[in-house]
């Protein structure tokens, strides 16, 4: 834990209790209240432990909890940025419990949450849950811009472009289909899709960097060329190679590595206007913390790049 | 594995291949085709790996697969019955994949399946999946009798009598509420319920054997007195004590033991007309086979008791 | 989760956000703020994830976190008491992070915490961490009474009466030695001790119910006879049989069962004045929630028995 | 660990090194050399991590290692005997690596080992490995007595009386068939067998206590009446209920409990001449030490009962 | 799951049942019967869950089951080939249960199976099981050609060239020794071998690409130059780096990566005549699906490359 | 296992027992006594399973045991060196059990052990345990040279340069602070540190290769230039990328790879005088052997490089 982790406050029962070495609560990074008050912060973390449609292994609803716990062990100083990005302030909302009455209704509920949140002007990072939860925030952001003006940078092993899956258009396997007509979609790391999804990519002339193309020298440039000014970033953690991210529903071999991915994100934040982001599909493996920690560090990197743009 | 396990057939590609020591397929007990043909059998196993509403730990959709695999190691001879119950014939259907479009629609789909199946005259044992799947078969059986004539023997840690949970009346926590006006409900092993559920039990004068009453001498008699002639048995595996059944969503301490439970079921089959049964909420723990095996042996006990009534 | 679990508040960022279905924080039972404010509650939970001396398996520092998470799935209504004990109010303090500078210094720090806490007049239940943390609260309570007036009911597999272990008198294996001259010690479930510890038990004429005596009819009466008026209860979870409590450092076969233990505690609260309690040595097993849940339910039972005495 | 565990010797490199707080080696109980020298001891532990024929879950070859490691945490003082049985001396042999050239050859190799060992006059306790390894020691002991004079007390869930299994008469499922004509076999805890095995039990008029008979009051007497003067004890750990022994190949529900089993063994050692013993089929579950510890404590109980007969 | 996974058939009990959303059986890819009938298919999968000789960790007998289950989540469309290779037809045989009477006898049994299978003209891919099972198919293929005409491409961490191991020449550590005089052996990824094995490699002038040479630019060319026209491919999954393949007996650091390996195999199929293949030594880790999935995708890649050569 | 693993000796009870196929004991590599006698060997392994201060995940006290067990499966022949380095002789000391009385006292105890050991002239490799144990050996070596003459090559994810952590200067997070004024510190793989640690690095002009610089071409040269003549190597296994080393307390993404690290170490041994080494912070993951094996192979590589310098 970092320096805030020991020496927090008990919440103020009595003066004598205040002097004890309390650990802080379970917010992102384990920040003390002065850096985590909703009113004052620049960044809001929204955990959405939604898991309803089915994949190989389950457990994405434990993702936010695993990521938040891991975040307490992430160092607050970022030596690559030579900065302490948490000083921008990070508020962690409670988990949002979407209805169990069916995916359509749940997605409408989530949309309402984003409409309320985006009004606050905060930079919101959502933690999934299954990938279907990315639909509502993308559409909420898209609706604040002209049609097609929002670019979506999708880091993912799967195209998620099916029109329907298991009887519903709101499956994790369909999430990009629900938004693809409203946004400019740039897919990176894709290595599993159907013939129909491939046809749709071609028809819509999407920029796609397949998994086996990630060791080509120009893939980062191809991504940058395709992205418009305003960008939403959605990271399905199965984008990463299973060697570093085994904790996800369907881990496909041949995925993204840590350092090149961070370099891409660094550049996107420097050269574009990133309006929001999410990290989804983390399904913690009991007893194995490395994947949760990677996901937490990824979120802090996003915060760091965002904060740099705000002078932190 | 038992004697059928080695010496099966490859499915007949060529005469020479037939003589090799093949293992049989993944049906219940690993039976050879002659004991497992739908047309000829007395018992049908229906796996329904449905998991949509959320509990503490997930994984009930892996229950049927775990139970079926374990069943291959259950001995075919039942020394307590001094019989080989599999000779009544046991057909295992493929997994039934209910829609992901929402629990209401999924339950209607399952009801249609049961309407089709019950017409066949087979004794159907359903393997869950979460407990909500018990609603459709209970109602399908109840509709074949006068209102209130079907008794339901519910072995369970939870009353499952909520009117709604997480926004839907089709949650695992509501399943008995959806049927309680149509059947006579007898609950055994209950040790977790809300004040509202307790009030409903009292109002409807249900016979309830709580978990801490399972070491009283008369609990079996109380159950038998309450059951009418026609009985459907639903076993939520969390009924069992967590010492022998840790592999379930919310394992409550103070549950049922193996031998007394088998004795109760033995008596119910001898003294009543059991029309159907299910075993639900098994959520296999990776690397730990004992719970899966217990559930598989429980299913074979049900088959043995049923077969005895048919002279096997 | 229970009825409070969905429908909590986000902490009030904006009016629109307040209406969303938030999950509450990670306090014991997941209570909303109105039932968990320090000033108003009757019960305080103090998590002390201290783990410094070594046993077979480690992990007791993860005990409070596992227990607290499990508590969110404990039903708020207690059907045996026909009451909702949480209405007495339960505040959960942050984790107390004792110094890493050595066990002696850490124990002094913990003593200071208890001196501060006991002044508040709340009923404090401490969650360990290793058993050594029980020393300071026992001595803090003992010092508020005449010498020898405090009885300590120790549910434990090990006598913990060594004078020193691994170079320190503050080891988990010594905790009862540090207090045994100041209190009346009643040990239940003991099934592992040295010849020296046995000699001390005899010399001090302690009441000891060994593990293999737990199936004798009179053990509960022997315990009650030995307890004085004021009682502190310390539960090392390895007291329980490993079948229901495998998640602890050294799980000894032949331990306590759930229902008889609850009956004993029920009686102790009814017939004595219980001044405080702790539940220690839980070391969660990754992927297996049953032991954490049992420990959480045990804590809620203690709260229920305490609340009954206050008219809840 | 107990008092020997800290303060051992490094094996004597230099005088200064000798004074350091070394842990002892990996022998049974972690005994210092003076209590573990082959020449001086009364008891010899023989680990045979043999695993060749197949069951549901594997891993019996890790059994000896898991049991030996767990034994270091077993208390050296036995409070039920009020004695320190290790003082009889316990030597732990290295693991015996039987040939991989086929089970028949391996069993002959093991027989030669026992012929050599029994000549030493030590009390040998073998740690398996799969149950097939019990054949050679039983026959080695039987050959030192008249035909049929050796009684074998088999604690087991399975009858292991098949004539052949998976193409060999040396399978774990056949081990008692290989000896049943040479010894008097008394089976306890049986709850899985074929019709053919049941017929053999009847034909040979074996005394069998089935699993569901273990809660009858007279089962211990039935066992004692059937045993002759000289007894070999073989404990397949799947005899125990899966609640306390999930770490075995095929854990059958409805097995033996700890305290009654210890009472039976206590009586057998007091009233009969026990010539040897084995504990087999332990297959450690990664991360879960309770089953290994139970098996280690069982072995120390056997040593304690044996030592008592020798005045320790 | 892919599009066949939901919407399969129940096997035809009644017309009404046929319309339900059944999942298909446990064959490779979960194919419906029309693409999996032995008579019509181009590819046959032979699972041989044989595990008799011992390595660090066990569990290779669970390999075929884990791989087959994982295969249901492999996408049927291969975007690198822009094809749907399953249309060549893939029949999955039941598991072949080799005798437990010793490795020599088991290997002869497997040889007979291959003699029968190869007569069918199908492309057979065997799933191990331990590596010793590769001996019989290699010799069966070699015997259909002139001596030395068959090349064997062995992807492996270990040379497996010992003359004998643990008392038998049929150990997994010896499998390439049993064939090395009959075929041209090309070893890739080797990073663990004895001095004797190294000497044999030199004496026989084998082409060996060691693990640490896999980042040299010319290794692929070295392999291709060494291979003759007819090639059998045996993949011991420990060839892969443990980062992506931890699920094997002895995972050696410094192994093969996914994309370069797929490129090599692509080229071998394009430029040589591949007569058969196997994937062995997968030992699934409970709760971790990534390695099983990688192995399943590898098998589908082999099928894809084979099918391309047949115009699919 | 290698050729020594089968065919060891039982320790000489009787002549007949000596001929049996015993496995050797639990020393590093499982060497027979003739290669492992303290007096004759060139290398001594010192296991120090010390774990007192706290990190994300615990378990470093199980590190030495896991590493030693894994070492038995490391091949004795090193094909890169074309040598059998074990012939230099390797003695494995018992585990050194440091006091539980606090970290300061424990570190003094360890220092005394090293003062005794270094007098023997052996090359000592210590196995941790948490990183704090590296302090005493580094200072013991430094004190044998002029101030600042010892270079320390630290492979690590964390700078470990805090002045105090959790109330003590002897935390694992402080270990390099305790030595940094006495030695020349060269840090490699660092990717987590505080602003204060970064300032200290700058102030002291330390050579630091950060994690994200490990793919730059010149990092190895930068390291070599910074190292003086006499070098102590400390490897915190979290230096490695979590893909190959998930088994450690806080696995940070973006770490070192196997082959380049081995090449660096090879060069350090060739071009410098390495006086000692340690490998710390391994915390084995139950059921997953790859990380333990990597750590064992790393130790054998260190031995191989050392032995080469002695002509082996």
Contact status, residue B88 vs residue B307, Cβ threshold 8 Å: yes
Q: Report chain D residues whose CB lies below 8 A from the CB of C162.
A: none
pLDDT of residue B5: 42
The torsion region of residue F58 among left (phi > 0), alpha (psi -120 to 50) and beta comes to beta
Closest CB from E243, E258, E287 relative to A286? E287
Q: Report chain A residues whose CB lies below 8 A from the CB of E84.
A: 195
Report d(CA D87, CA D308) in Å as an integer. Answer: 11
pLDDT of residue C53: 67
How far D260 CA sits from the closest chain C CA (Å)? 9
Q: pLDDT band for B20, please (50, 70, 90 cuts).
A: confident
Closest CB from C79, C80, C297 relative to B253? C297
Each residue's pLDDT tens digit, E112-149:
999 999 988 999 999 999 999 999 999 999 999 998 89
pLDDT of residue B22: 87
Closest CB from E73, E79, E258 relative to A56? E73
Q: Report chain B residues whose CB lies below 8 A from the CB of E39.
A: 13
Closest CB from F99, F100, F171 relative to C100? F171
Q: Report chain F residues whose CB lies below 8 A from the CB of A290.
A: 242, 246, 251, 253
Q: Report chain B residues whose CB lies below 8 A from the CB of C79.
A: 190-193, 198, 210
Contact status, residue D253 vs residue D244, Cβ threshold 8 Å: no
pLDDT over 90 at F22, yes or no: no
For residue F308, give Cα distances in angstroms to F85, F86, F266: 8, 11, 10
* Pairing verdict, β F123-128 and F273-280: parallel
Q: Coil, helix or strand for F148?
A: coil
For residue F129, give Cα distances in angstroms to F53, F65, F237, F283: 11, 10, 11, 8
For residue D207, give Cα distances in angstroms to D151, D176, D223: 11, 14, 7
For residue F142, give Cα distances in angstroms to B280, C33, F115, F124: 65, 57, 12, 15
Of chain C, the percentage scoring pLDDT greater than 70 comes to 94
Compute the radius of gyration of chain B from its Cα atoms.
19
Chosen for mutation from A98, A102, A166, A173 (greatest number of chain B CBs closer than 10 Å) is: A102
Each residue's pLDDT tens digit, C255-312:
999 999 999 999 999 999 999 999 999 999 999 999 999 999 999 999 999 999 887 6
Query: Worst-scoring range by mean pLDDT, A23-32, C85-94, D116-125, F27-36?
Result: A23-32
Query: Worst-scoring range by mean pLDDT, A111-125, B162-176, D147-161, E16-30?
Result: E16-30
Closest CB from D58, D59, D167 relative to E100? D167
Supply the angle between the helices C135-142 and C103-118 in degrees, to the nearest 10: 40
Each residue's pLDDT tens digit, B34-65:
999 999 999 999 999 999 866 677 899 999 99
Average pLDDT over residues F274-301: 97
Phi then psi dihedrals of residue B185, to 5 deg: -105, 130
| Contact at CB, B17 and E95, closer than 8 angstroms | no
How far D295 CA sits from the closest chain E CA (Å)? 22
Chains contacting E (3 or more CB pairs within 8 Å): A, B, D, F
pLDDT of residue C14: 56
| Contact at CB, E99 and D53, closer than 8 angstroms | no
- The answer for B 7-26 residues in CB contact with E (under 8 A) is 8-14, 16-17, 20-26
pLDDT over 80 at D22, yes or no: yes
pLDDT averaged over 10-residue windows placed end to end, chain A, 312 residues:
44 65 86 93 97 78 95 96 97 94 95 94 96 98 94 98 93 94 97 98 97 94 98 98 96 97 98 98 95 98 96 74
pLDDT of residue D54: 63
Average pLDDT over residues C75-103: 96
Contact status, residue F281 vs residue F171, Cβ threshold 8 Å: no
Query: Worst-scoring range by mean pLDDT, B123-127, C39-43, C264-268, F25-29?
Result: F25-29
Closest CB from A57, A195, A251 relative to E84? A195
Contact status, residue A238 vs residue A187, Cβ threshold 8 Å: no
pLDDT over 50 at D101, yes or no: yes
Name which of A130, A5, A110, A4 is nearest A58 in CA terms.
A130
Whether ipTM exceeds 0.85: yes
Q: What is the mean pLDDT of chain E?
A: 92
How many of the other CB atoms lie within 10 Å of CB of E229? 12
Q: Would an 8 Å CB–CB cutoff place D258 in contact with chain C?
A: yes
pLDDT of residue F71: 97
**DSSP 8-state code for residue E95:** P
| Contact at CB, E97 and D165, closer than 8 angstroms | no
Each residue's pLDDT tens digit, A60-98:
999 999 999 999 999 999 999 999 999 999 999 999 999
- The answer for E 101-140 residues in CB contact with B (under 8 A) is 109, 112-113, 116-117, 119-120
| Contact at CB, D242 and B241, closer than 8 angstroms | no
Of chain E, the percentage scoring pLDDT greater than 70 comes to 93
Name which of C158, C152, C124 is nearest C237 in CA terms.
C158
Tell me which chain A residue has its CA closest to the CA of residue E73: A56
pLDDT of residue B1: 44
Compute the radius of gyration of chain F from its Cα atoms.
19
Contact status, residue E297 vs residue E74, Cβ threshold 8 Å: yes
Chains contacting B (3 or more CB pairs within 8 Å): A, C, D, E
**DSSP 8-state code for residue E45:** E
- The answer for D 167-206 residues in CB contact with B (under 8 A) is 190-195, 198
| Contact at CB, E84 and A55, closer than 8 angstroms | no
| Cβ-based neighbours of A29, under 8 Å, separated by 6 or more | A2, A4, A71, A72, A74, A76, A86, A90, A300
Q: What is the mean pLDDT of chain D?
A: 92
| Contact at CB, A24 and C98, closer than 8 angstroms | no
Q: Report chain C residues whose CB lies below 8 A from the CB of B212.
A: 80, 259, 262
pLDDT of residue E22: 87
Q: Report chain D residues whose CB lies below 8 A from the CB of E100.
A: 52-54, 103, 165-168, 171
| Contact at CB, F77 and E195, closer than 8 angstroms | yes
Chosen for mutation from A3, A258, A291 (greatest number of chain F CBs closer than 10 Å) is: A258
pLDDT over 60 at C11, yes or no: no
For residue F53, give Cα distances in angstroms to F102, F223, F247: 10, 30, 17
pLDDT of residue A252: 97
Burial class of residue C121 (count of CB atoms within 10 Å of its CB; 0-12, 13-18, 19+): exposed
Q: pLDDT band for E247, please (50, 70, 90 cuts).
A: very high
Tell me which chain C residue has its CA closest to the CA of residue F62: C57
| Contact at CB, A51 and B54, closer than 8 angstroms | yes
Higher pLDDT, D33 or F262: F262
Each residue's pLDDT tens digit, B72-86:
999 999 999 999 999
Higher pLDDT, B147 or C127: C127
* Pairing verdict, β A273-280 and C273-280: unpaired
> How many helices (H) and strands (E) are present in chain B, helices listed first?
9, 8
pLDDT of residue F55: 63
| Contact at CB, A253 and E244, closer than 8 angstroms | yes
Q: Report chain E residues whose CB lies below 8 A from the CB of D105.
A: 102, 167
Buried b (16+ CB within 10 A) or exposed e, A4-33: bbbebbbbebeeebeebbbbbbbbbbbbbe
pLDDT of residue F7: 38
Q: Report chain D residues whose CB lies below 8 A from the CB of B74.
A: 192
Q: Report chain B residues whose CB lies below 8 A from the CB of D55.
A: 73
Chains contacting C (3 or more CB pairs within 8 Å): A, B, D, F
pLDDT of residue B21: 85
| Contact at CB, D13 and F38, closer than 8 angstroms | yes
Q: Report chain C residues whose CB lies below 8 A from the CB of D265.
A: none
Across-strand partners of F190?
F210
| Contact at CB, E288 and A286, closer than 8 angstroms | no
pTM for this predicted structure: 0.95
Closest CB from F241, F243, F251 relative to A293? F251
């Amino acid at each position: 834990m970092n320096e805030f982790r020991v020496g927090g406050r008990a919440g103020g029962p009595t003066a004598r209790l205040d002097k004890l070495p309390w650990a802080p609560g379970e917010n992102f990074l384990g920040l003390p209240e002065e850096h985590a008050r909703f009113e004052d912060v620049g960044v809001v973390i929204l955990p959405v432990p939604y898991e309803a449609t089915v994949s190989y292994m389950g457990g994405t609803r434990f993702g936010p909890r695993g990521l938040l716990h891991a975040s307490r062990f992430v160092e607050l100083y970022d030596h690559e940025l030579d900065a302490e990005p948490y000083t921008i302030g990070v508020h962690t909302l409670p988990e949002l419990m979407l209805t169990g009455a069916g995916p359509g209704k749940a997605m409408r509920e989530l949309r309402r949450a984003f409409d309320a949140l985006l009004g606050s002007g905060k930079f919101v990072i959502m933690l999934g849950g299954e990938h279907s939860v990315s639909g509502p925030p993308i559409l909420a952001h898209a609706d604040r811009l002209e049609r097609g003006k929002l670019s979506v940078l999708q880091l993912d092993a799967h195209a998620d472009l099916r029109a329907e899956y298991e009887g519903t258009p709101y499956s994790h396997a369909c999430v990009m289909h629900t938004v693809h007509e409203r946004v400019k979609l740039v897919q990176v790391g894709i290595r599993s899709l159907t013939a129909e999804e491939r046809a749709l990519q071609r028809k819509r002339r999407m920029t796609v960097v397949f998994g086996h193309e990630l060791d080509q020298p120009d893939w980062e440039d191809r991504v940058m060329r395709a992205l418009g000014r305003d960008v939403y970033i959605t990271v399905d953690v199965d984008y990463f190679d299973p060697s570093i991210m085994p904790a996800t529903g369907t881990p496909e071999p041949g995925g993204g590595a840590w350092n090149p991915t961070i370099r891409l994100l660094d550049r996107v934040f420097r050269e574009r206007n990133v309006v929001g982001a999410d990290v989804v599909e983390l399904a913690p493996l009991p007893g194995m913390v490395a994947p949760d920690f990677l996901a937490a560090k990824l979120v802090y990197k996003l915060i760091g790049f965002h904060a740099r743009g705000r002078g932190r």
